[in-house]
Amino acid sequence: MPRAEKGTPKYLANKMKAKGLQKLRWYCQMCQKQCRDENGFKCHINTESHQRQMLIYGQNSGSYTYQFSKEFFDSFMDILRRQFGTKRVKANKVYQQVIADKNHVHMNATRWHTLSGFVQWMGKSGICVVDLIDDEWWITYIDRDPETLERQRKADKKKKMDKDDEEKLLEFIDQQIERDKKRKEGEEADEEKKCTELIRENEDEKIKLDLKLFKKPDAPTPIQPTPLKMPRIDNFDTMSVKSYKSTSSTRSDISTSSKKSALDEIMEQEERIKEKKNRKDHWLAEGIVVKIITKSLGEKYYKQKAVVKEVIDKYRGKIKVLETGEKFKVDQEHLETVIPKIDGRVRILNGAYRDSIAILKSIETSRFSCTLEIEKGTFKGRVISDIPYEDVSKIYEKK
């Protein structure tokens, strides 16, 4: 029967039928030909083109089967990973997504003849967790990607550290409460002295009082004081006065420090937790001024100042040389921080107050540290000292 002419109703009807999915058993993968019924499929397998394709397939059937199986597996796993992730889902639901593409590799060309066989093979291979519930196969993808596993490991580690820090803080607060409770109980016990009744074991026994009387001592003979000569002001020991003052001030400091309240100790504990949490091995940030300390970019850029324009994967940054305006990508190991003048604005790059903006108040060159005053944020107005040079850097401000 000749084909319908183009534009005729018969031709359009055939095209509309061809758009939809047809039965799998009437599809030829080698020729990529879909037939609409059994008669059409029989006619196709008797054609010369199909016979040539089958001769090619017969020469290396294992290679073709492997290739078709691999393409079907890749398309199935791609949909499972992207749309469903590690959630449990019906295998047939994923399969319907696969066959929605008209040009997909059909299962009758793979090593698996049924979806049940394919699902069981994935379970035996350890690719997915397979469950049979109410005669339906459910699968759960097992993500073994190294990056995903490393990300999950870091997330679990961070969660454990946060939990440990919270538990330590709660334990410390409980200890403070218990200590204060015991101290109050001791004070109440001292105030309330219990009186007991005097009871004699034997009623015939007489009570004896042993009073030891001491002879009143004679009044002491008064001694006449001898006049003392006052020392001259020139011989007065000023060092003794200074030492006395320093000793008294030291004692007052010790007594003050010994009277730290539980609130101060809790605040110090929180500071240590923040320092541990925010102390990281990368410090680059956008908008700070840095100094180039490598000669690999050229002698003329050595010791030149630059501004960080962009941070790339935490450890590298795109910088712009302030003098020449040239731009480079540099690792943070080849840069160092820059300290501004007093009252200059800086950014804290590491430690408990990471990413805070502060004002430089003083510099301690002997200890390679500085004192800052927080300018913005929750801790505005707080003065912090002994901040290392490498933890802060000048903020670039356009003139």
Question: For the segment 54-86, what is each residue's pLDDT rounded down to a tens digit?
Answer: 777 777 778 888 888 898 899 898 888 888 888
Average per-residue pLDDT for the chain: 77
Hey, how many other C-beta atoms are within 10 angstroms of the C-beta on 337?
20
Between the two ends of the chain, the Cα-to-Cα distance in Å is 86
CA distance linking residue 315 with residue 282, whole number of Å:
6
In this chain, the answer to whether the domains covering 283-338 and 339-399 adopt an identical fold is: yes
Query: Does domain 283-338 correspond to CATH entry 3.90.550.10?
Result: no
pLDDT at 345: 92
CA distance linking residue 67 with residue 87, whole number of Å:
28
User: Average pLDDT, stretch 146-152?
Assistant: 71
CA distance linking residue 110 with residue 121, whole number of Å:
13
Span 106-116, pLDDT tens digits: 787 788 888 89
Span 11-30, pLDDT tens digits: 777 766 665 555 566 777 77
Tell me the DSSP string of 249-266: HHHHHHHHHHT--HHHHH
Nearest 5°: phi and psi at 28?
A: -110, 115
pLDDT at 287: 92
Residue 242 has pLDDT above 60, yes or no: no
DSSP E strand stretches across the chain: 27-28, 33-34, 88-90, 128-133, 136-141, 289-292, 305-312, 316-321, 327-331, 335-337, 345-348, 357-364, 369-374, 383-388, 392-394
User: Average pLDDT, stretch 179-199?
Assistant: 69
Q: DSSP label at 397?
A: -
User: Average pLDDT, stretch 376-388?
Assistant: 84
Q: DSSP label at 314?
A: T
Give the bridge partners for 2, in sequence order: none
User: Average pLDDT, stretch 357-368?
Assistant: 90
45 and 29 Cβ atoms separated by less than 8 Å = no
Residue 289 has pLDDT above 90, yes or no: yes
Domains of the chain, by residue range, sit at: 20-141, 283-338, 339-399
Which CATH superfamily is 20-141 part of?
DNA/RNA-binding protein Kin17, conserved domain (1.10.10.2030)
pLDDT at 220: 53
Least-confidence region, from 171-185, 228-242, 311-325, 381-395: 228-242
| Pairing assessment for the beta strands 345-348 and 392-394 based on DSSP bridges | antiparallel
pLDDT at 339: 92
The CATH architecture assigned to 339-399 reads: Roll (2.30)
Residue 99 has pLDDT above 50, yes or no: yes
Query: Model confidence at 278, in pLDDT bands (50, 70, 90)?
Result: confident
